[in-house]
């Protein structure tokens, strides 16, 4: 998704000036043995603050506002699938990024949600301090609560820089998590159909 449209998804509310992050970043630079006054770092604290506020803007996203404007009464009983939703998030353990794709499906009961709202729900939760397992579950549960479908399935495939840059330093390892609710948990046929629709021979994650 282009950067401009991603920025339009959430309204970033800037906290009061006395809650500024930049002075704390400056302190961290000093603790790391750097000179925050040198040319390359003079504006770094402010840039880091802006980046962190954007990357955590999900805390300030009004999910009800996103969802309630796009619920439609429709008699449709086939699976709805939105796949390959790209996302970027921050590992809450090391504050390093993890990124990947999410595949979301649901079986409507008597309502559907606008297709563009599903990526927005993903972003609302991805732009927080996260772990992949919780991110996957939160997306599934939000859709379940919003439209009460027959079932919801979510698969998340991601690569974690906390594994790639540090620790075990495995460059090609990835993680896959899933959340299956309702029919996706109870009916093997439904689950298998979902898995077949989103399977990739080589997706890079």
**Catalytic center residues:** 91-94, 132, 160, 162
Query: What is the SS3 assignment for 53?
Result: helix
Torsion angle in degrees (nearest 10) through CA of 185, 186, 189, 191? 0
3-state secondary structure of 161: helix
Contact between residue 117 and residue 144 where contact means Cβ atoms under 8 Å apart: no
Tokens standing for residue 5: 């449209």
Residue 69 DSSP code: T
Tokens of 83: 């796949």
Q: 47-55 long-range CB contacts below 8 Å, 24 or more apart?
A: 48/21, 48/22, 49/20, 49/21, 49/22, 49/25, 52/21, 53/12, 53/14, 53/21, 54/7, 54/12, 54/127, 55/88, 55/90, 55/127
């Amino acid at each position: 998704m282009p950067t401009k449209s991603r920025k339009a998804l959430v309204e970033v509310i800037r906290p009061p000036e006395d809650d500024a992050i930049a002075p704390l970043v400056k302190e961290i630079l000093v603790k790391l043995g750097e000179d925050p006054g040198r040319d390359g770092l003079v504006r770094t604290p402010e840039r880091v603050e802006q980046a962190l506020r954007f990357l955590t803007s999900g805390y300030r996203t009004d999910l009800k506002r996103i969802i309630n404007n796009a619920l439609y009464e429709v008699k449709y009983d086939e699976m709805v699938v939105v796949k390959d939703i790209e996302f970027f998030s921050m590992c809450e353990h090391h504050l390093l990024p993890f990124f990947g794709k999410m595949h979301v499906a649901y079986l409507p009961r008597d309502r559907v949600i606008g297709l563009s709202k599903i990526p927005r729900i993903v972003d609302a939760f991805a732009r927080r301090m996260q772990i992949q397992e919780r991110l996957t579950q939160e997306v599934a549960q939000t859709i379940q609560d919003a439209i009460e479908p027959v079932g919801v399935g979510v698969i998340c495939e991601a690569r974690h820089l906390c594994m790639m840059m540090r620790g075990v330093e495995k460059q090609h390892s990835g993680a896959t998590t899933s959340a299956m609710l309702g029919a996706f948990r109870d009916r093997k046929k439904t689950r298998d159909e979902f898995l077949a629709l989103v399977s990739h021979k080589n997706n890079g994650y």
